[in-house]
Structure 1
Amino acid sequence: MISPDLRAALLDRLAKVPPERREALRRTLGEKGGLPLSPGQERVWFLSRFDPEDTSYHVPWCVWLRGPVRPEALAGAFARIAARHEVLRARFRMTGEGPRQFILPPGPVTLERGELLGDPAPPVDAFVNRPFDLEVEPPWRVALLRVTGERMLLCIVLHHIAADGWALDVLMRELAECYAAAVEGREPDLPDLPMRFTEYAASERNRDSGPQLAFLAERLAGTPNLDLPADRPRPPRWTGHGAAVRFEVPGEVVRGLERFSRRERCTPFMVLMAAFQATLGATAGQRDFCVGVPVAGRSRAEYAPMIGSFANTLAVRADLSGDPAPGELARRVRKAVIEVMTRADAPYEKVIAALRLPRDLSRLPLCQAMFALQNTPQDDMLRPAIGDLEAEFYPGPGSRYTKAEVAVQLWPLGDGLAGILDYSADLFAERSMRALADRFTGTVARFTLPA
């Protein structure tokens, strides 16, 4: 659901579109049919129209393949997957009824081909950050880049309007099975899907989340923006231009944090969130702000095997009043996290609309910071083989855009944690963000107990 302010901003943006492009859009306004978008899809659609160059909603995955790669079998495997999951065959267009998705019949999937003659980063960067035209292109693409006859790089990019991180895991699992079946000359062994994604999208639009929205709107009303000290003037319009710094949390600190978590009856996520809030509060000189938390949004078992965009964002309000000690802050975070997690089905877009926030194109609404902890690697994405091919994850350059002014993501690495801090390159210099990452890891050490 797009708020009136967001619609007005979109109309302002469309007014600046070149005449030939505007004429094409005008023709689609009379187009009928199509199927509704979920609230989350509609917001991503709006953002992609507001800034077509923004690639922060691209979901990339690249793997090295070693062995006798059969390109025709790969292309056939991707076609099988697209035939199963209709959202991969969708086109997204504005109609007289608003934005709609049009599902095309199953057909071949283009496997782009190329040669790698040196550093893979530049061509992968160009592939990952090439914008999608969602009106005429499928919301995903794949490429196979050859190094030698026995070594190739497979690159996959999905648009978040059609997929999320969980969906990428599903795709890699099905790719392994479909490719192996093609090589072995058999039918792939895949379970029937319990429903279509468009059925989910329609049900999300019609679901009554009134009580959840009322509770969250009351809890979040009046939350001030997070104002971290910036190195550069804030642009009049949010662009999403981003960069990133990497960091690690040592194993001994993680073990101490786990002991602290058990004492305070919190999860490690809650304690790490408390440390992140404390870091942001101390840096900005604030006691009240919101941090967004991405969640899978697959609350029903039938959603698990589906490719689609189910992910949601939860807004966790920080309460740093009274300069709480680590234990007290962890308990406050536990209470706030439980409150929003029990209402995780309320679409973030509807929460934003219910708050009726003032229009401000220079920043993202409500949550200027994001935090995520990936508890375990997704096994099917990190599988060591695809059929008879050895597979090894290639991290690639990532997106040049960010979904928040600052966003921390952590995941297990050995007995410690690896982390990445994405940030707005419009606002912050790299040295400031390295200092912020160091401050966060130092704060995490305060939320620990000795052995």
Structure 2
Amino acid sequence: MVGAGSTPEWREHLKAQLPSYMVPSHFVEMETLPLTSNGKIDRKALPIPEEQAGSGENHLSPVEELIASVWSQVLGVSNIGAQDSFFELGGHSLLATQVVSRLQEAFQIELPLRELFEHSTVETLARRIGQLRQGDQKPELPPLVPVERGEAIPLSYAQQRLWFIDRFTPNSALYNIPAVLRLTGDWALESLEKGWNQLLERHESLRTVIQEIDDQPVQQIRPYSPETIPVMNVTELPKEVRDNEMKRIIQNEAEAPFDLGQGPLIRVQILQVEEKEWMLLCTMHHIISDGWSMEVFLDEWMALYEEDISGTPAELNPLPVQYADFAQWQREWLKEDVLEQQLQYWKEELSGDLPILQLPTDRPRPAVQTNRGKMHQVLLSHPLREKLKEMSRQEGSTLFMTLLTAYQSFLSRYTGQEDILVGSPIANRNYREIEGLIGFFVNTLVYRADMTGKPTFQELLSQVREKALRAHEYQDVPFEKIVEVVQTERSTS
């Protein structure tokens, strides 16, 4: 092909003219074509196309991860993202047959070949597989769009749980999300403050407080008004005193409770510790944020800061909806018949006696949970990590499923129990409109492993994989609703 245009443009043009299997897998741009001495194209001198790579988007769901893993094996393509198309990555009808057979085995469903042609991206195919696994019974969701802001904006289900906890344990910092960043070098504090204000204006959740109307909680979004970031300078203190003061300030900031009704539910301050060194302290209440949100928050803040100091456009896409729109939408569709249908799976999965894990510890379990604890991190070597990934690919599982299987096996071995339940957070951002929002979306899923009969690791992994995929299909049910219907005995310890 000769002429102007980009690879995506040429690919779209050819897709309109040719069947999918005839669209080239790779495009290589060249100034001139190599010629033989006879003036013909020297095919041996043509460059070998580099290995194709996908968009590499993060945050794939478990179903999307399995699909991407199968595509990677068949196509020899790495770093596949949710929006990547099977055919644009080099797939054709012959390879499609291989993919379909592997996906049928992985998901234990009947998957006609046409489904891959009609749902050619990872995301759309994952959604279709979810429908097939549920027998096409999953109801069509209403569109997630902006709604009118009335006086009473409902809380999401997750928010309502935290509001309820806050009413019974006020002045608690248990649900604070603190972050501390060390800034070194030449930082323009005015530009940081400008970016901070742009975020406040962009995300309604950062201006939200929780009020009560007739004893019912509602979201109240305050109008945007510019704010200043307080700066505390401790550079004049002797080093030892300064270090202790810095630790005290950080500790106090992280442990200071929020007033949900008064707000604001986010605090930011800067602590200058050297001439060119600052500590950026940011604490949010969980009711307006989660781990994914913190990543969005910091990424956008730094992009806006860079835009102001260097002129590099932040290129932040307009937000299609706000968190209040999501809460209203969730309340409208996840109710009555839909909620009952989703809850039915959890009623069956968590039926019978639910055991309390009896780990052999050197201290008795306290009568009331203290929430005192620590985190132990283990860094796996690169060779071990690669072996685990390879094993996951061979077994048709994700790395999470493999590690969860190992963890549940470990718990069973140390406790002697054969019924092992593990709760794990899930981002719960399975709708494109909410991917860039700051808000409280995370949910908890329960994975129950049956160790009776002493299954092999591969047998247990197969069980865990199926349980994980099923749990993901019913992730929309708030954990607190599951607790309500299961009616298990609650332990204060």
Query: Which TM-score applies when normalising by structure 1?
Result: 0.68
User: Across the two proteins, how many residue pairs are aligned to each other?
Assistant: 331
CA distance in 2, matches of 1:97, 1:133: 17
The one of 185, 191, 211 equivalent to 1:73 is 191
CA RMSD of aligned residues (A): 2.4
> How is 1:141-160 mapped onto 2 (pairs within 5 angstroms)?
141-160=267-286
CA distance in 2, matches of 1:124, 1:347: 33
Q: Is the Cα–Cα contact under 8 Å of residues 266 and 334 in structure 1 kept in the other structure?
A: yes
CA distance in 1, matches of 2:152, 2:450: 45
Residues 1:321 and 2:470 are matched in the alignment = no
Write out per-residue CA displacement over residues 276-333 of structure 1, whole angstroms, 9 at most, x where no aligned residue: 1011122222111321121111111111111111111111112111222211111111
The one of 71, 84, 90 equivalent to 2:202 is 84
Write out per-residue CA displacement over residues 107-148 of structure 1, whole angstroms, 9 at most, x where no aligned residue: 233523223522544432222222222221212111211022
Query: Which TM-score applies when normalising by structure 2?
Result: 0.62
Structure 2 CA distance for partners of 1:95 and 1:209, relative to 1, 3 Å: same
Shift of 1:200: 0.5
Shift of 1:69: 2.6
AA of the residue aligned to 2:463? R
Structure 2 CA distance for partners of 1:286 and 1:94, relative to 1, 3 Å: farther
Shift of 1:42: 0.9
Partner of residue 232, structure 2: 114
Unaligned runs of 5+ in 2: 1-149, 235-241
Structure 2 CA distance for partners of 1:273 and 1:50, relative to 1, 3 Å: same
Residues 1:343 and 2:474 are matched in the alignment = yes
Partner of residue 218, structure 1: 348
Identity %: 32
- Report the secondary structure of 1:45's partner residue: helix
Structure with the bigger percentage of helix: 2
Shift of 1:361: 4.8
Shift of 1:90: 1.1
Partner of residue 62, structure 1: 180
> How is 1:42-61 mapped onto 2 (pairs within 5 angstroms)?
42-52=160-170, 54-61=172-179
Partner of residue 401, structure 1: none
Q: Is the Cα–Cα contact under 8 Å of residues 75 and 108 in structure 1 kept in the other structure?
A: no
CA distance in 2, matches of 1:249, 1:112: 40
> How is 1:201-240 mapped onto 2 (pairs within 5 angstroms)?
201-206=327-332, 207=334, 208-222=338-352, 223-240=354-371
Write out per-residue CA displacement over residues 402-449 of structure 1, whole angstroms, 9 at most, x where no aligned residue: xxxxxxxxxxxxxxxxxxxxxxxxxxxxxxxxxxxxxxxxxxxxxxxx
CA distance in 1, matches of 2:310, 2:385: 45
Larger Cα-atom Rg = 2
Residues 1:308 and 2:434 are matched in the alignment = no
Shift of 1:150: 1.7
Q: Is the Cα–Cα contact under 8 Å of residues 265 and 284 in structure 2 kept in the other structure?
A: yes
Partner of residue 41, structure 1: 159
AA of the residue aligned to 1:35? I
AA of the residue aligned to 2:464? V
Deviates more, 1:112-121 or 1:324-333: 112-121
AA of the residue aligned to 1:153? M
Residues 1:273 and 2:398 are matched in the alignment = no
- Report the secondary structure of 1:136's partner residue: coil
CA distance in 2, matches of 1:252, 1:180: 37
- Report the secondary structure of 1:107's partner residue: coil
AA of the residue aligned to 1:130? A
- Report the secondary structure of 1:249's partner residue: coil
AA of the residue aligned to 1:143? Q
CA distance in 1, matches of 2:230, 2:169: 25
Deviates more, 1:332-341 or 1:146-155: 146-155
CA distance in 1, matches of 2:342, 2:309: 49
Partner of residue 96, structure 1: 214
Q: Is the Cα–Cα contact under 8 Å of residues 171 and 259 in structure 2 kept in the other structure?
A: no
> How is 1:359-374 mapped onto 2 (pairs within 5 angstroms)?
360-363=490-493
Residues 1:282 and 2:413 are matched in the alignment = yes
CA distance in 1, matches of 2:395, 2:313: 52
- Report the secondary structure of 1:242's partner residue: coil
Shift of 1:159: 1.5
The one of 271, 283, 297 equivalent to 1:171 is 297
Higher relative contact order (CA 8 A, sep 6+): 1
Partner of residue 250, structure 2: 124
- Report the secondary structure of 1:118's partner residue: helix
Shift of 1:186: 9.7
CA distance in 2, matches of 1:354, 1:42: 17
Structure with the bigger percentage of strand: 1
Partner of residue 195, structure 1: 321
Partner of residue 114, structure 2: none
Structure 2 CA distance for partners of 1:196 and 1:302, relative to 1, 3 Å: same
- Report the secondary structure of 2:287's partner residue: coil
Write out per-residue CA displacement over residues 152-204 of structure 1, whole angstroms, 9 at most, x where no aligned residue: 11122222110111111211222123223444589964322101211111221
